[in-house]
Structure 1
Amino acid sequence: MTEPVEEFTGRFLVLLQEDAVDEGVAELGAIAGFDPNSGDLDADTVQVFPELGVAVVSADPNLLAELNGAAARPGPVQIVEPERVVHLIKDADPGTAEEESKLTWGLQATGAAVSTATGKGIKIAVLDTGFEKNHPDFAGRTITTKSFITGEDVQDGHGHGTHCIGTSSGPRTPATLPGYGVAYEAEIFAGKVLSNAGSGSDGGILAGIEWAITNGCAVISMSLGADVPVNTPYSQVYETVAQRAMAKGTLIIAAAGNASSRPARIAPVGHPARCPSIIAVAAIDVNRAIASFSSGSADKIGQIDVAGPGVDVYSSFKLPQQYARLRGTSMATPHAAGIAVLIAQATGARGYELWARLSSTALRLPLPSTDIGSGLVQAP
């Protein structure tokens, strides 16, 4: 099987010193040829995310040496990386349904079905393909939406985002059973960072992360990424962003990837889940076995942190279909994110402490930690 080829947009991510963002933008302007004081910067030229301390810039490739030179010397410009193209974590074919008369098997396996926590008062951001605004199961819910895809509103033309929102925070008692939402009373923030075709860029994802942090979301769920070759370094920009997010009380949880063909090949954790400060989620099936497609700790860089139900997962979908059964680490991730919301409500934990509680309470399974990390996430 050939190694994946990374895709890039031609723009650059620039990490700025956290307490010198304005100075960093001024230096970037001098290098890339824009005026940071114009008051109306062209988003095609530069995007600045002050909460993250990151800028995304379009610059002539000949200026890359100057950008790297600025990063190499003491000053507000710290790291320069190429911007990647990212995709939703493509789902394999749906599996065969198990008996789920009242609640999905995922809710049962994670203990969410018997937990007294509901997610009430906790904000969760799901950054994906958007949300089906007319889905009847979400009538009356408090849902904040925003699109970061040029030319597309938040309406989910794909279905993937609506499915992930349903798993993390959909209803327990919809008109048609089974119930499928982990944190069913959480406050939902639906950010569209992937197009209706299922693709996007680092810049759009970073914009969504900043939006979630600004709005006080305790958890960000990202069922997206890019497959990478073995031993690919993790993004230092995303790693710093994740650290800064946790310091502000926001935990980022991301899909590990679906690139394995077990048992013949175990693929490495993809971008951005391979960052040490982003929780990477693997997928298990109803028999508590690792899913054949689930990426794992195939190198010493990207590590699996926890596992979630990721095969034959029933949840909401775009209309007129309304519901779908899907499989993938995309489906495991909102399970983990929803459980993190329940823990945040039950304990008051945020950031680093929330990560520790999510990991330490996971259920150990007779599987290698390189496949499932500390185990299957469990509700408080």
Structure 2
Amino acid sequence: MIPQDSQGAPQDRRARGMPRGNPETTGRYVVVLADNTDPAAVFADVAGLRTVASSRDYGEQALDMDEVAGADATMFAQLGMAVVSADPSQSGALRAAVQDSGTPVLAVVPELVYHVLADPAYLQGYRDGVEDLARRLGSGEGAPGDGDAPAYEDTDEATWGLQALGITADSPTGAGVRVAVLDTGLDLEHPDFAGRRVTSKSFVEGQSAQDGHGHGTHCIGTACGGVSQDGRRYGVASEAEIYAGKVLGDQGSGSDAGILAGINWAVANQCAIVSMSLGADVPEPHPPYTFAGRRALEQGTLIIAAAGNNADRPDDPGFVGAPANSPEIMAVAALDAFLDIARFSARSLPGPGGQVDLAGPGVEVFSSWPMPERHNTISGTSMATPHAAGVAAVWAGVTGRRGLELWATLDKQCRRLELPSVDVGAGLVQVGS
């Protein structure tokens, strides 16, 4: 899955925002089962699959992806679904079972492959943000009543994003709330996280949870980080408990198996929020995430995901991609410091689940980065998403609300903007009441 940070204009331009070509797959399948199903019996009886590994066999349901690599099916017990390796006759039998109301097989879809962008793309994304800022200043498109000045700017005390969210020195900090950020991991030795309660786990075969890419450290810093060495605060929920799940590898690639394993782990460990700054340019909801989002909400976990960076405004508004376009997953768009929609931020599509739900700061966002750089400033709906996740943690701590109640609170507390709801949903997510 592509972390939605600095994608820029797609190389293969879309006609009216719709993608061309087929998504890359692994050759395996994601199978969704009905509640209270014995997966071993189903897979054996329906498709002759004999080796079934389950997250229930691991402490805190933290699957070891190296150990389960040879299994016919890997079950994510908390979510009621599995990734299976099946030959054509076996996969055919599973697909046929979906049509039979007498079986507990609800959906069978190919497992998708996703990619993070290479490092040069991050520089492109930052350059896009700078160029967009220069364009706005040159054309006088500043915030209403502010002339050419942006509505917010970074200061020595706080980033512009925190200011826009209504965060002050006295704001609640999400203490005691568990937040899972599923991405490329975390720089576990980063000095800005010293003394913090961090639980880390890799769901990428052959790799540790240490972030060898950067994107995950930046997102975790935005959602739950603290202050930089010079005293600037950049993290929203600076006292939340961090669950750093590595679901994308150091080279930037991953699949549904790792991402679903990460969600399953977060739900099993009662994380109130799952933040996923990742997405694929697929306009239709991917069934595993529709079921995962619903089942997570039922267990008190809100999944928040990046709406996507496939727009190239004003010519191409793009569309919300997977997994954010699943109806039970909150989709976050990106705003710039003028509180205008970011050039790259995707627009809602008609139909259930295809809409942007709310927006967050996503252009030129300062946050943590693996050492020795320590900090970096990048842009994308990837950066807007952890802002929203951090605010969700603050509200979860203040109100005790979880799941759908927490979703409703975020929606109600948004700052309404003079922008189309297809671009920003309910508006800018807010900490202040």
Instruction: Give the alignment's TM-score, normalised by structure 1.
Output: 0.94
Q: Secondary structure at the match of 1:150?
A: coil
Aligned ranges for residues 1-380 of structure 1 at < 5 Å? 1-2=13-14, 3-5=19-21, 6-20=23-37, 22=38, 24-36=39-51, 42-44=68-70, 45-73=72-100, 74-88=102-116, 91=122, 92-94=124-126, 95-96=129-130, 98-113=153-168, 116-171=171-226, 173-228=227-282, 232-301=283-352, 302-380=354-432
Contact between 2:47 and 2:91, CA under 8 Å: does it hold in 1?
Answer: no
Q: Secondary structure at the match of 1:176?
A: coil
Deviations 1:341-378 (A, max 9, x none): 00001111100000000011111111000000000000
Q: Secondary structure at the match of 2:267?
A: helix
Deviation of 1:88 after TM superposition, in Å, equals 4.2
Query: What residue ranges of structure 2 are gaps of 5+ in the alignment?
Result: 1-12, 58-66, 134-152
Contact between 1:85 and 1:226, CA under 8 Å: does it hold in 2?
Answer: no
Structure 2 CA distance for aligned equivalents of residues 100 and 198 of structure 1: 32
Contact between 1:7 and 1:84, CA under 8 Å: does it hold in 2?
Answer: yes
Structure 2 CA distance for aligned equivalents of residues 225 and 99 of structure 1: 28
Deviation of 1:25 after TM superposition, in Å, equals 3.2
Deviations 1:146-180 (A, max 9, x none): 00001110110000000000000000x43223210
Q: Secondary structure at the match of 1:113?
A: coil
Deviation of 1:379 after TM superposition, in Å, equals 0.5
Contact between 2:277 and 2:383, CA under 8 Å: does it hold in 1?
Answer: yes
Deviation of 1:237 after TM superposition, in Å, equals 2.2
Deviation of 1:35 after TM superposition, in Å, equals 2.1
The 3 A distance-change label for structure 1 pair 327 and 65 is: same
The 3 A distance-change label for structure 1 pair 42 and 147 is: closer
Contact between 1:168 and 1:183, CA under 8 Å: does it hold in 2?
Answer: yes
Contact between 2:52 and 2:75, CA under 8 Å: does it hold in 1?
Answer: no
Q: One-letter code of the match for 1:126?
A: V
Deviation of 1:115 after TM superposition, in Å, equals 5.4
Contact between 2:333 and 2:358, CA under 8 Å: does it hold in 1?
Answer: yes
Structure 2 CA distance for aligned equivalents of residues 193 and 93 of structure 1: 22
Q: Name the stretch that deviates more: 65-74 or 84-93.
A: 84-93
Q: One-letter code of the match for 1:87?
A: H
Contact between 2:53 and 2:73, CA under 8 Å: does it hold in 1?
Answer: no
Q: Secondary structure at the match of 2:416?
A: coil
The 3 A distance-change label for structure 1 pair 307 and 38 is: closer
The 3 A distance-change label for structure 1 pair 203 and 115 is: farther
Q: Secondary structure at the match of 1:55?
A: strand
Structure 2 CA distance for aligned equivalents of residues 30 and 316 of structure 1: 49
Deviation of 1:37 after TM superposition, in Å, equals 7.2
Deviation of 1:233 after TM superposition, in Å, equals 2.5
Q: Secondary structure at the match of 1:353?
A: helix
Q: One-letter code of the match for 2:69?
A: A
Deviation of 1:114 after TM superposition, in Å, equals 5.2
Deviation of 1:31 after TM superposition, in Å, equals 4.2
Q: Which runs of 4+ in 1 moved over 6 A?
A: 37-41
Deviation of 1:206 after TM superposition, in Å, equals 0.4
Deviation of 1:198 after TM superposition, in Å, equals 1.6
Contact between 1:135 and 1:319, CA under 8 Å: does it hold in 2?
Answer: yes
Deviation of 1:38 after TM superposition, in Å, equals 8.9
The 3 A distance-change label for structure 1 pair 361 and 115 is: farther
The 3 A distance-change label for structure 1 pair 115 and 67 is: farther
CA RMSD of aligned residues (A): 1.9
Structure 1 CA distance for aligned equivalents of residues 230 and 46 of structure 2: 58
Contact between 1:193 and 1:200, CA under 8 Å: does it hold in 2?
Answer: yes
Structure 1 CA distance for aligned equivalents of residues 359 and 293 of structure 2: 20
Structure 1 CA distance for aligned equivalents of residues 47 and 68 of structure 2: 13
Structure 1 CA distance for aligned equivalents of residues 420 and 49 of structure 2: 51
Query: What residue ranges of structure 1 are gaps of 5+ in the alignment?
Result: none
Deviations 1:103-135 (A, max 9, x none): 000000011235521100100000000000111
Structure 2 CA distance for aligned equivalents of residues 326 and 12 of structure 1: 34
Structure 1 CA distance for aligned equivalents of residues 419 and 402 of structure 2: 29
The 3 A distance-change label for structure 1 pair 227 and 318 is: same
Structure 1 CA distance for aligned equivalents of residues 82 and 162 of structure 2: 39
Instruction: Give the alignment's TM-score, normalised by structure 2.
Output: 0.83
Deviation of 1:267 after TM superposition, in Å, equals 1.2
Q: Percent identity?
A: 50
Structure 1 CA distance for aligned equivalents of residues 165 and 154 of structure 2: 16
